[in-house]
Structure 1
Amino acid sequence: MDTFGNIESLNKSFYYSKEVAKWFAKKEYLLPEEQSFLRDFGGEIVGKSFLDIGIGAGRTIRHLQPLSGSYIGVDFSPDMVREACARFSDVRLEVRDATDLSAYGDGQFELVIFSFNGIDSLSHEGRLRALREIHRVLKPGGLYVFSSHNRDRPRVSPYALENLSLTKHPVRMLKNLLHYWQCIRDWKGSLHCAVEEEEYALRHDSGNFFKVPIYYISKRNQVRQLERVGFRVETIYEGKGLQTTASDADPVSSWIFYVCRKTA
């Protein structure tokens, strides 16, 4: 079943939002696994051509752009790109969809980044299109780095009380209750897009308030998926930024960070 259209339209309804862009603008930190990547591969990537996909409101720009020889940041949400442009007016930022990078030439970049599980917002079909496009715009030997949700982690229920923030302030508590029930309502409204396949799953979680199912995949299957497209996985980091392998069990990390190289 091709869920591309449904997932795409649901994600647009969430990410095409000035409010969500403002929320993303508060994120300025690097995650532990991103810090580990820069520590281990920083010497290789300095001065190279970067394509930073899924920039949101610009979280990664301040950290990556100064390291590059040339830098382009893209996001599929115009609201996100407008927010990022307001904060980084001297950086080349564009509205682009990862499934269509036809604006860029074959082998144009030496590093492509798709951080913070951005690729998981795509359907399975969309994900494979994006991987083929990323492979095309990378130079042979270039690096593709990204994170993806860990299928070996237990599922998160929208009914879990951990999703409800408790406070003694009555007005705030009412808002929190309304948000809690809104999450449950949105979860029910998009259940038709959730799937459990042998290779991957589309599951809801709290990262986007249960509005849209997100792509989950095990480390083993992710490595196989990348190899089919023409990537060789060099390093894998778990949620705390420590190196791991595809065979190591990990029911704890919410997502896994992959460093792979385009094979010649």
Structure 2
Amino acid sequence: MTADTVQDRINRHAWRSWGARRWFGTASDWTDPGEAAAIAWVADQVRGQPILDVGVGGGRTVPPLRALSSDYTAVDYMPEMVAICRRNHPGVRVEQMDARDMAALPDGHFALVMFSFNGIDAVDHAGREAILREFARVLRPGGLVLFSTHNLRGPSYRENLSKFLRLPRLSANPVAVGVDAARVLCNLPLATFNYLRHSRLNREFDGYAIRVCAAHKFGIVIFYTELEAQRRALARLGLHTEVVFGNVDAAPLRDGQDLGEVYWFHFIARKAAGAVRQPAGNERAVNEQ
């Protein structure tokens, strides 16, 4: 069952738009050098083993992951994306499923669970915890999770309407200037409307924040995290962070590195061998009484 928070409704509305469906349906290749490096880092460890591709969208990640293993399952919580992915990749197993509740998938089965393109950021804190618990549950001992998430200290966190107020580029070509001017005039009213109505959901917490994002003309509200806070959240679930890549280049991030120019992280974490299944939220509440 798909959750229905205010954040969910906002984000699903943006992704159901014609432009978003068209983009997701045609997207290919890596999002950035860090994603390519992260896939290369896990490749030999998961080759030929079961892979779960969460938030598959239109199927951008299907070819590179199926090149690693034919034992491949993809899920997405939006029926529109499932339909696009099935159309783009006939014969591939693609299911409609909310990552917060993947009860239809077996415990301890997958060697790799991947959630790309910052998809985990689309839900609130409780939803994110549920997703990570599900990852820990469906991963086999020693299995890997690979996901990307926005950097709370990165450039995108403070983006505002000035992003859509840029004047047309100077050019000797009047057509190019006209196209740029038309783009500003077209995008600015919707971006302004979305920014003002979605900013009411902006909240900052210890180690993370919820904030409207400039993507889709400020049409989505997402989760931003600090690197160390995300490490701790994974460790609580028996998922040990092995390496983190940024979006900027293919080099692993170093301890003490300035993260001010990193838009998002690519986390790779390993499930502890012999890890005990984490109880769901309601089970935990009962156990702790």
TM-score by length of 1: 0.92
Q: Structure 1 residues 171, 201: CA separation in 2 closer, same or farther (over 3 Å shift)?
A: same
Equivalents in 2 of 1:246, 1:73: separation in Å?
A: 34
Partner of 1:198: 206
Partner of 1:224: 232
Equivalents in 2 of 1:143, 1:163: separation in Å?
A: 42
1:62-211 equivalences under 5 Å are 62-154=63-155, 155-161=157-163, 164=166, 166=168, 168-169=174-175, 170=178, 173-211=181-219
Give the Å deviation of 1:178. 2.4
| 1:192-224 alpha-carbon deviations (Å, 9 max, x no partner) | 221111120112222232122211111111101
Q: What secondary structure is seen at the aligned counterpart in 1 of 2:218? A: coil
The 8 Å contact of residues 4 and 122 in structure 1, kept in 2 or not, is answered as no
- Residue in structure 1 matching 2:266, options 248, 254, 257: 257
Equivalents in 2 of 1:6, 1:224: separation in Å?
A: 27
Give the Å deviation of 1:69. 3.9
1:237-248 equivalences under 5 Å are 237-239=245-247, 240-245=249-254, 247-248=256-257
Counterpart code for 1:241? A
Q: What secondary structure is seen at the aligned counterpart in 2 of 1:258? A: strand
Q: What secondary structure is seen at the aligned counterpart in 2 of 1:133? A: helix
Equivalents in 1 of 2:165, 2:108: separation in Å?
A: 44
Counterpart code for 1:156? R
Q: Structure 1 residues 197, 133: CA separation in 2 closer, same or farther (over 3 Å shift)?
A: same
The 8 Å contact of residues 16 and 78 in structure 1, kept in 2 or not, is answered as no
Percent identity, aligned pairs only, is 30
Give the Å deviation of 1:36. 0.9
| 1:63-95 alpha-carbon deviations (Å, 9 max, x no partner) | 111211410111111111111111100110111
5+ long unaligned stretches in structure 1: none
1:6-17 equivalences under 5 Å are 6-17=6-17
Counterpart code for 2:120? I
Q: What secondary structure is seen at the aligned counterpart in 2 of 1:94? A: strand
Number of paired residues? Answer: 262
Give the Å deviation of 1:163. 6.0
Partner of 1:236: 244
Give the Å deviation of 1:227. 0.7
Greater Rg by CA = 2
Q: Structure 1 residues 97, 199: CA separation in 2 closer, same or farther (over 3 Å shift)?
A: same
5+ long unaligned stretches in structure 2: 274-289
Moved over 6 A (4+): none
TM-score by length of 2: 0.84
The 8 Å contact of residues 46 and 69 in structure 1, kept in 2 or not, is answered as no
Partner of 1:42: 43
Equivalents in 2 of 1:58, 1:105: separation in Å?
A: 23
| 1:176-205 alpha-carbon deviations (Å, 9 max, x no partner) | 322122112101111222111112011222
| 1:218-250 alpha-carbon deviations (Å, 9 max, x no partner) | 111110111112200001111212111354221
Which segment is superposed worse, 6-15 or 143-152?
Answer: 6-15
